[in-house]
Amino acid sequence: MANMTDLTVVPTLLQAIRAALDLTQAEVAERLGVSFATVNRWEGGSNKPQKAQFAKIIALAEEAGVDVGDAPTAGGTVLSRKRGRQAKSATPTTKPMEQMLWDAACSIRGEKDAPKFKDYLLPLLFLKRLSDVFDDEIDRLADEYGDRDVALEIADNDHDLLRFYLPPEARWGVISGRVQFEWPDDDRGRSTRPRDIGEHLTKAVRAVVRHNPSLAGVIDVVDFSAERNGERDINPARLNGVVEAFSDPRYRLGLADVQPDFLGRSYEYLLRKFAEGSGQSAGEFFTPTEVGFLMARLLRPKPGQTCHDYACGSAGLLIKLQLVAKELDPTAKVPLKLYGQELQAESYAVARMNAIIHDMDVDLRRGDTMINPKFRTSSGALDKFDLVVANPMWNQPFDTSLFEDDPYDRFIKNGGATSGRGDWAWLQHTYSVLKDGGRAAVVLDTGAVTRGSGSKNEDRERNIRKWFVDHDLVEGVILMPDNLFYNTAAAGVIVVLNKRKTESKKGKITLVNASKRFTKGRPKNHLADADVVDVANLFNAGEDIEGGVAVISLEQAAGADYNLSPSRWAAAVNTDDAGDVGELLAELDSLNQQDAGLTSDLLKLLTPLTNVGVSR
């Protein structure tokens, strides 16, 4: 048994208990009959429990199977689990990591309002990742030079040894209060110590940007101590709660703790949760994860290919191209070359963070692609790419003068200028930035493949569609399920363009009706992983399949006045398993027998009442 008077064991003891029982600090506090703040101070080492409270901690350790006989004292002996019980793995699975992130998000204002605060939470999570990786890199230097203090001194003097240098005040130990830091005085001799955690975080992210200019506009997009009408936007006490959640030792985010794709999946989960509660604006920064994987599987990226998303939002579509490329060719040493452009400052910041968290190199630039495409050659012409993926704003209105006076000649010579909606204008831009053998997958509103067909009036959008079909550029269209995308309940379509079709696909268009392939969810439906793989395989096979896939000729498309809706050509089949017919008949017979039995029992109960007269 640990020495009852040696309270230096408490921080590590509490951490071992929480790891063994999978408890949060709040849950430990409830078990011990004290407040969350008390447990937080005990674990942080800033306060110590009384003897009676310490006895409760020891009792809880016994329950958790933590061997307190080897509890750490001044000598630093590591806690161990009792013999005969399996120690719980310290490596988190994706599920608790995701839950930790969402719990932290909800701790600011509650689940309903959590999405409103993504601009605060994502930089905070990003800072935690940077700090944990910084610590890992310092450990590497310590192994090389033999001492951690020496390693820190070397890193302080040569920032190029690290990918991102973090000054002391921005390191997570200091932010969480677990490591002491002496704040210097300013030029006037006044202390620079922040009043609270909000001011500390703002100082921290600004210090990170001073030392890492490439992170400007990425990590410093918000002021954690901002006030409105004399009140903080985020209460410091709630920020403390988020910092504490991110400080849980079970969820360390360093190089040795989580692989980029592991943390990336958790990060995408958080983006998805934010998007589900963000309403109309969600589609501006996030495309459903499974839709991104479907688009990547449709295009089947190869090592070294150049890939572009001109409306990249969180850069999720580009990242999924790289993930699928790695899956298709695990031994490839050459990564994809990824390029993205994004208009919104907040989405651009999320994209930068997302790429770094996935440990991927993405060339990201800010700007309005339709007016000012940023990827251009030295002569001013548009850069061209092997693959293009995009989910631009649906039915976006544009001034027609933009199309008629375009300096890059993207529209007039490629089907003409559209009017009103810009869906086909985005496809015209897509075509203009594809290499000669390039392919593209673009998400659009369902109406983009039907509007104007059969109309007596000459429709510009239909005419552009006709130009693409007549030039054999449309490889196919996939109709998605309803209520999948975040900014609308309507079904979207994925239009696949191909500048150099294979012989087997020349003169043909593959139309896939995947409208029934969804898993019901709240508030949005989902595509199951199996459906993603199946739909991609069906499309790439390019063969007629009754109840799902129709392969039509260019002549058939022209005969339908260029209506390319998959629902017109291929009826959807519900993929729910209907079950074995014999089993269904047996179940029906059983239900009939149960019904007969219940009716007989009810008649027996009612028989005595038939002899009772009715009084007036």
Q: Which tens digit of pLDDT belongs to each residue from 543-574?
A: 999 879 999 999 999 999 999 999 999 976 55
- How far apart (Å, rounded) are the C-alpha atoms in residues 287 and 320? 11
User: Greater confidence, 447 or 21?
Assistant: 447
State residue 146's pLDDT score.
87
Q: Are 45 and 7 in contact (CB under 8 A)?
A: no
Q: Which residues is 67 bridged to in the sheet?
A: 80
Residues 117-162 have pLDDT tens digits of 778 888 998 999 999 999 999 999 999 988 999 999 999 999 999 9
Residues 313-358 have pLDDT tens digits of 989 999 999 999 999 999 999 999 999 999 998 889 989 999 998 9
Angle at 115 between CA 39 and CA 238, to 5 degrees: 25
pLDDT-wise least confident of 294-298, 313-317, 416-420, 526-530: 416-420
pLDDT band at residue 90 under the 50/70/90 scheme: very low
State residue 4's pLDDT score.
42
* Radius of gyration over every alpha carbon of the chain, rounded to an integer in angstroms: 30
User: Greater confidence, 304 or 29?
Assistant: 304
The number of beta carbons lying within 10 Å of the beta carbon of residue 296 is 27
Nearest to 35 by CA among 47, 25, 20: 25
pLDDT-wise least confident of 155-159, 488-492, 517-521, 608-612: 608-612
- How far apart (Å, rounded) are the C-alpha atoms in residues 535 and 283? 23
| Section 182-198 average pLDDT | 92
Q: Which of 36-50, 195-209, 257-271 has the highest mean pLDDT?
A: 195-209
State residue 5's pLDDT score.
46
State residue 530's pLDDT score.
92
State residue 388's pLDDT score.
98
Check whether 473 has a pLDDT greater than 50: yes
For the chain, the distance separating the N- and C-terminal CA atoms, rounded to the nearest angstrom, is 83
pLDDT-wise least confident of 1-5, 22-26, 178-182: 1-5
Structural tokens at position 501? 């079709």
Question: What distances in angstroms separate CA 71 from CA 36, 38, 205, one per listed residue?
Answer: 23, 21, 37
Q: Are 501 and 434 in contact (CB under 8 A)?
A: no
State residue 524's pLDDT score.
83
**pTM, to two decimals:** 0.75
State residue 82's pLDDT score.
42
Q: Are 200 and 225 in contact (CB under 8 A)?
A: no
pLDDT band at residue 612 under the 50/70/90 scheme: very low
| Section 510-537 average pLDDT | 91
- How far apart (Å, rounded) are the C-alpha atoms in residues 468 and 287? 25
pLDDT band at residue 259 under the 50/70/90 scheme: confident
Question: What distances in angstroms separate CA 549 from CA 295, 447, 495, 538, one per listed residue?
Answer: 17, 19, 15, 7
State residue 55's pLDDT score.
84
| Section 429-444 average pLDDT | 97
State residue 252's pLDDT score.
85
Q: What percent of the chain has pLDDT over 90?
A: 52
Nearest to 15 by CA among 248, 357, 280: 248
Check whether 520 has a pLDDT greater than 80: yes
- How far apart (Å, rounded) are the C-alpha atoms in residues 170 and 183? 12
| Section 356-363 average pLDDT | 92
Nearest to 249 by CA among 172, 356, 148: 172
| Section 110-117 average pLDDT | 67
Check whether 582 has a pLDDT greater than 70: no
Q: Which of 103-112, 467-476, 525-534, 576-585 has the highest mean pLDDT?
A: 467-476
Amino acid, res. 568: R
Asked, as a colleague might, if the bond just before 523 is cis with ω within 30 of 0, I would say yes
State residue 409's pLDDT score.
95
Q: Are 371 and 419 in contact (CB under 8 A)?
A: no
H or E element in which residue 584 lies = helix 581-606
- How far apart (Å, rounded) are the C-alpha atoms in residues 435 and 28? 59
Q: Are 369 and 313 in contact (CB under 8 A)?
A: no
Check whether 282 has a pLDDT greater than 60: no
pLDDT band at residue 399 under the 50/70/90 scheme: confident
Check whether 575 has a pLDDT greater than 60: no
Q: Are 36 and 29 in contact (CB under 8 A)?
A: yes
| Section 153-179 average pLDDT | 94
State residue 83's pLDDT score.
38
In 517-580, alpha helices (H): 529-541, 554-559, 566-569
